[in-house]
Structures are given as C-alpha cells and as structure tokens.
C-alpha cells in the first residue's frame, strides 16, 4: 500500500480544495517484491475451445506472431482457469503469452513501478479499477477506443464489446474513454444464513436499518453466532471498498464544489452506522478482517450475514471448506436513509502498457480481446473441466444463459437474481471519487 504523506493527510480536512486534493501523489511504490511465479511456462498440448469461432472474426490473429508478452495476475481461480486455456491463445496467434502470479498485496505496487519506470516488463496486468485514473493521468496506459474502432484490430460484430457489463465498462473508463478490457468482476450484495433467518422469522433487509435489526435479532455469541461482519481491514480497497457505499446510501457526497465534504451530518451518520455494526454484532478482531476472513467465518457457521462481492459465494458453497452449503440466501444491498442503493463494483481488467512497442501492443490487444471474449468467458466458467467455475464473467448475456444460471443456482437461494438486479440497478462506477490520488486518499481515510 502507499505510504501516507502530509499531502495525503490533508485530504481529510474540509478546508482543502478539490484542486489541492488533486495534487496529492502516491508515494512508497518503489518497493519491489520477489519475482513472481510464472504459471504459464509449461502448457500441456490440446485445445479447450473450437478455434474456428475465433478464426471467424475478420482480423488477422497472427499479426503479432513471434512476440512474447507477460501479464501480471493474482493467484486466484479465475486466473488459474485462464492460464489452463492459454495454450489455445498461443495456437491461435503464435504469441508466447505468460501469466505471472503476483500476490494481491504486491501486484498494485509492481504494476505502478513498471508503468512509471516505462520498463515494459508487464504488457498488461490484472488492473484494480481504482487505479485507472492514476494510470491515465500519467499517460501510462493506452486508450482503447482506437483499438476497438480499428477494422484491422477488432471485429466488433464478433467481439461485441457492448455485451460486457455496463458497470464494468464504466469502471475501466476515464473521461468516457475505455482503458481496460474487463475480465472478471463482482456485484456487491447481501449474503445471509437463510436457515437462521427463517428460524428467526425475518426476511433479508431492504434497508440498512433493517440490516442492523436483523443482525441484532440473530446475534448470539454464547452460541458462537455473531449477527454480521463487514470488512474492517484498513485500506483503499478494503474497508474503503465497503464504507463508501454506506456513505453514499446515507446521502453523503464527496464534494460540494471545490470543498471536500466528508464530515457532513450524513457522512457522520454513515460512519456511526458502520462502526456500530462492527462493535455490536461482529466477532472480535473484525477490524483486521478482509473478505476471505469474513467468508471463512461465515462458512464455518459463526457469522449470520455479511455484505460483499458475490464472488465470495464460491468459498461458502464449497462443501470441502464450508459447513453452511444449502443454507445460504442472497439479496441486493439494502437502501440507505437517502433511498439509494449505491454499491461498489469490482472487476479485474487488462489495460495496455503505453511503453510497449507497436507489435507488443498488438499482441497485448489480441490477448485482452481473446480473454474478454464470450468464448473464453464460457470456457473458464461453466464449461471449464476443473472443479472451480468462475462466477464473475464479464458478459451480460451469460447471466441469462441457462447453462450459467443452472450452475449458479447451486450457490444458494436467489443468487442469480440478486447479482443481476444489483448489476442492473445498484452498481455505480463513481462509488468513490474518480481521482488519480484515490488509492492514497482511500488509504488515509481508512485509517482515520
């Protein structure tokens, strides 16, 4: 994470202007981790997909034949599935593509260091949507409208960029221009123990007030059941992934003209609500919990509800790790006093490093287009031959695909409906300020 600077600390003052806030800079990104594990070095022969579908696109998939590109990703099932089908990309294009597995806590720093130094080590990487404004402000990545609009590079009648979830496209766009191709993403929804709620005679919350009341009703630490849990771990992408949605649901706004407004009555009420939930109904130590800790506790039956990305369902639906399989329900994020459901949206996406040569950029674009295609989204999701099936495909049409929805039905009651309604109605790419300095600002606010 970025180190806190004096300029960063100033962002919490209501006297600071928006222009001053824009002068805040990321610091401490020069820490370099040990080399990542290359998980794409030795691929077994064989095809996972019918390449004729790709060859039907009116582009030359061999235009960058012989190039070598490295893409930084995190060690997660959705990227491991992509690596398994990567031989098909190499067969199709003649490009040697490698996925380098980088721990989640290091990938942002390594990406910023590589982009800022213009070394071109990573042709692309699994980009955090909160970093796009920083990348664009510094000219580190290419805008993609020229790639999408080129008949030589893209056959959109085949690729169908508009089929990618609108929220995901919005999260990877800056100033109305696309800068990344979404690969995997999540809606933020309410996850609860349906059996416990049914026994207590309660329904999933429609409002944040009801959510707190439900947590209070099922809270029974003596029986090792806590009412709820939310991310408490400090960081721009940790507790500040959840709190801004509460802040916005309470009617909070980040700015009033040039003035930062994070201490209005609405903002303070949102903060009090968030803190009271954690203090009154969450397990001890939740201030150090991130989503894996919450999902693990829920899966062990010690937490009755939480609000987070829908992809956590893959953890709690795994019978090898979870004790609550078949006992889980899902619902949309509750409304706040403002009447809004304003939820954070998450995705991993692939930008193009501006420091690359033209041939390398072509190779990277072909990879991004291939990975984001409906064919690869299906091959790494319900059609994947392994145990792990991706739950966050980028394609809106897939969420209406019976083969996908049948697979998703196994995660619990109302799963697909909750996620699709959230994607359509609740997700907001502007859930936090779209500023180049947000990673540093968010880290500072997270520890305030």
Q: Which pLDDT band, with edges at 50, 70 and 90, does 446 fall under?
A: low
pLDDT of amino acid 211? 98
**pLDDT (tens digit per residue) in 325-365:** 999 999 999 999 999 888 888 899 999 999 999 999 999 99
187-344+412-431 under CATH 3.40.190.10, yes or no: yes
Query: Rounded distance, CA 373 to CA 180, Å?
Result: 13
Segment 366-376 shows an average pLDDT of 98
What's this model's pTM, rounded to 2 decimal places?
A: 0.82
Task: In the chain, list all ranges with CATH 3.40.190.10.
Answer: 32-179+347-379, 187-344+412-431
End-to-end CA distance of the chain: 16
pLDDT of amino acid 314? 83
Mean pLDDT of the chain: 87
pLDDT of amino acid 378? 97
pLDDT of amino acid 197? 99
Q: Which pLDDT band, with edges at 50, 70 and 90, does 42 fall under?
A: very low
Segment 97-123 shows an average pLDDT of 95
Output DSSP code: residue 329. E
Tokens of 100: 């380098």
pLDDT of amino acid 10? 34
- Cα dist from 164 to 168, 228, 445, whole Å: 7, 33, 32
Per DSSP, what are the bridge partners of residue 68?
Answer: 96
Q: Do the beta carbons of residue 58 and residue 154 sit within 8 Å?
A: no
Rounded to 5 degrees, what are φ and ψ at 169?
A: -65, -40
Segment 290-296 shows an average pLDDT of 92
The percentage of residues in the chain with a pLDDT greater than 90, rounded to a whole number, is: 68
Rounded to 5 degrees, what are φ and ψ at 445?
A: -65, -35
Query: Rounded distance, CA 398 to CA 326, Å?
Result: 24
Segment 274-289 shows an average pLDDT of 96
Evaluate if residue 40 carries a pLDDT over 70.
no
pLDDT of amino acid 437? 76
Q: How far is CA 383 from the centre of its chain?
A: 22
Could you tell me which residues come within 8 angstroms of residue 355 by beta carbon, excluding any fewer than 6 positions away? 115, 118, 119, 120, 140
What angle, 0 to 180 degrees and rounded to 10, lies between the N-to-C axes of helices 402-409 and 415-425? Answer: 120
Q: Do the beta carbons of residue 85 and residue 380 sit within 8 Å?
A: yes
- Residue that wins the pLDDT comparison between 147 and 252: 147
pLDDT of amino acid 448? 61
Q: How far is CA 275 from the centre of its chain?
A: 24
Could you tell me which residues come within 8 angstroms of residue 259 by beta carbon, excluding any fewer than 6 positions away? 14, 15, 17, 18
As its CATH architecture, domain 32-179+347-379 has: 3-Layer(aba) Sandwich (3.40)
């Amino acid at each position: 994470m970025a180190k806190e600077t004096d300029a960063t600390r100033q962002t919490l003052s209501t006297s600071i202007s928006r222009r001053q806030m824009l002068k805040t800079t990321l610091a401490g990104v020069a820490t370099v981790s040990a080399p990542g594990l290359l998980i794409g070095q030795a691929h077994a022969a064989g095809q996972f997909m019918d390449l004729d579908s790709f060859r039907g696109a009116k582009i030359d998939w061999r235009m960058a034949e012989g190039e070598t590109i490295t893409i930084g990703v995190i060690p997660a099932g959705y990227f491991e599935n992509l690596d398994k089908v990567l031989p098909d990309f190499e067969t199709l294009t003649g490009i040697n593509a490698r996925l380098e597995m980088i721990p989640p806590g290091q990938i942002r720093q390594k990406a910023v260091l590589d982009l800022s130094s213009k070394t071109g080590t990573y042709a692309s990487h699994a980009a955090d949507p909160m970093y796009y404004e920083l990348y664009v402000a510094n000219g580190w990545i290419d805008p993609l409208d020229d790639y999408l609009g080129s008949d030589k590079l893209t056959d959109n009648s085949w690729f169908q960029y508009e089929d990618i979830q609108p929220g995901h496209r919005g999260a990877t766009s800056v100033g109305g221009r696309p800068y990344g191709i979404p690969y995997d993403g999540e809606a933020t929804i309410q996850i609860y123990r349906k059996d416990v709620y049914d026994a207590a005679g309660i329904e999933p919350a429609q409002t944040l007030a009801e959510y707190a009341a439900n947590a209070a009703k099922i809270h029974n630490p003596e029986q090792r059941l806590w009412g709820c849990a939310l991310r408490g771990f400090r960081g721009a992408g940790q507790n500040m992934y959840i709190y801004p949605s509460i802040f916005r649901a309470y009617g909070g706004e980040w700015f009033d003209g040039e003035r930062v407004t994070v201490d209005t009555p609405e903002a303070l009420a949102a903060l009090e609500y968030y803190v009271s939930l954690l203090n009154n109904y969450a397990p001890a130590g939740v201030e150090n919990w991130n989503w894996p800790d919450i999902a693990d506790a829920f899966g062990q039956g010690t937490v009755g509800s939480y609000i987070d990305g829908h992809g956590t369902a893959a953890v709690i639906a795994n019978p090898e790790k979870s004790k609550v399989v078949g006992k889980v329900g899902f619902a949309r994020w509750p409304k706040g006093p403002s009447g809004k459901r304003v939820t954070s949206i998450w995705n991993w996406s692939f930008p193009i490093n501006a420091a690359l040569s033209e041939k390398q950029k072509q190779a990277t674009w072909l990879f991004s287009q291939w990975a984001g295609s409906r064919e690869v989204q299906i091959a790494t999701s319900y059609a994947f031959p392994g145990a792990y099936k991706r739950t966050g495909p980028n394609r809106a049409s897939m969420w209406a695909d019976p083969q996908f929805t049948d697979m998703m039905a196994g995660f619990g009651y109302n799963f697909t409906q909750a996620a699709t309604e959230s994607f359509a109605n609740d997700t907001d790419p502007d859930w936090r300020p779209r500023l180049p300095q947000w990673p540093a600002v968010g880290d500072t606010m997270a520890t305030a």
